Structure 1
Amino acid sequence: MRTSSGSASSCGVLQDDERVQKALGDDRYDAGMSCAELGAAVKAVTVGAEPGAHSLRQAQAMKDVLLAVADSLDETGGRLDPELRLPLGEMLSGYRADLQQIMGLTPVDYVRHGPASKPAWEDDEGGVHVSVSWKPALLPVVRAVSEDPGAYAVIRDAMTGQAADGLAAMKPDSTGDMLSAPPARSSWALGSLDGVAADVVGDLERERGQEWQTAVLDALTPTGGGGKGAAVPVFSRDAEGYLVARWRRHLAAEGTKSLEAQGASMFGDWCDAVGVTGAGRDTVADRAGRGQRTAGREVLADLGD
């Protein structure tokens, strides 16, 4: 199967990949399935019933599919068939905790389990995790998926929720690494997505780039950009929901430029909610902002290589 440009169709390449066939199994694999059917099948076998909840089998299927997609990009000129972009974005967003670790300041466990030969694993508390190598595997897939602004928004929204989750778990009297590590980790992952967005927009003509950014903004702010958005829940009852809703209001009011300061902004909202003040707050916010900008520049440079 070939696209109109003469490069291989990603759907055709993936249907022929034994890793994809194994992940789908006899119940779901069909050599004659359409691109849309392939995307739906991949999502069905990798994503659990609840966000972040998945079995070892689902996590291993996700890794196998992700690696197959990464390899397919060598044959397709880095492109994915449009019908695959959103379901693959939804697949990735279902692993938001793992995604943040790989895209952020990758801890040792994720580095050790990143190679293709290393399976998904279960930690001592029963949590299931999956990892792939960042630059050769995950980054090219996120970049290809993100040509669909809706798919990019799904991933960005997942990273926003994960950032809020990390902040919500912090104690108001935290100091040192306990105060700085969660916002630093989330800011680096968010910055990586900034770099992806910059690369996508840079490859588009000016008007189309603006349309992509507007579509992302509309997807991230359900009221369409300028409205107040949904009601903000009470922090003491739903800290994660509070932080996400506050962030959406910032984005609706300030536009896409505010995405580049998201990590520090969300940390500031947490500080306001729990009463953290002083120089320590300013230092952590500054580090988060610098980390997000640095990550964005590094990703943009990596994608330009």
Structure 2
Amino acid sequence: MPAPLAGRRVLDLGALCAQRPHALAASMAAKLCAAYGAEVVRPLPADGEPFASLPPLLPDGASALHRFLNAGKRPGPATGWFDAAIGDGAALAAHAAEVPVKARLSVFGPDEPDPPMSELGLAALSGLLGIVGEAPPAPPSRLAGHQVAYSAGLATCTALLAALRAGGEEVVDVSLLDVTAWLNWKVAAGVMVIGSAPVRGNAKATWFTVKARDGYVALVYQDKDWPPLRDLIGDPRLLEEPFITGPGRGANRAALLEIIGPWFAARTRAEITAAAQARRVPIGPVKYPVELLEDAQYRARGFLAPDGTPSLPVGWDGQRLVREVADAAV
């Protein structure tokens, strides 16, 4: 099956973007284009690849972020014909004025000034930061990785594909804040339905990670799962108030953890998972990164290469594209 962007040339201006969120989002969008078969060219600034020294770092000191985002791309100048270009407004104006299809990233949109912004700032402005972490007065927690920028990259690639499919000349605009707000759609839904936005309330939450003998397990369950979970643990105190109802367990979270904690701590993650699955209780192990290389589901999906590089489950017409790409030599 031919790749849908085979024969197309895409200009990745992520390395020339002025701000980190724009750079990450543009680079992710271009990576997706490469997975769809495009030839992706990535011009670099005079001081070289900006991601080359960014964490997470591999044992040899190289950047895993750089290896992931730039695999399948070719460093080179912004010369010749390109079908599409991806970057912020300034990079597109300077290097892609003649490119027919442009994907332009900004914080608020093309008609607003682009202020200094980080992914943490986007999470705060969108309200996403307000629901991650323990309840106040504890500080909010930062999302791991680059979920905000990568989501903006996915949105950018989707818009770019639509513009290329339509043909002609077009500038598609992607607001980083709009994408982050969409990720946090429950805030808007909460305001519409109950008149207020959700806030961090983990002090009363009954979903948490619990220490096992060899690590941690994630305890995520609904009210219907409580009776089999309670019976699995087998402590008679769980049959009494205040642990009979969900609100009661939430309001007495510390006491609940004191009761159930020893049961989990005495067993391995595998033992806990098997016992929970036998009762259809949704408990799963928290795995260490090295364990993911041998994870049965990841192996079946081909998600991780032997060296740990994640692939992308890119599909076209219901089929997964298989395209061998080499790491960019930058």
Question: Is TM > 0.5 for Structure 1 vs Structure 2?
Answer: no
Greater percentage in helix: 1
- The structure having more radius of gyration, on CA atoms, is 2
Q: What is the TM-score of this pair, normalised by structure 2?
A: 0.20
Greater percentage in strand: 2
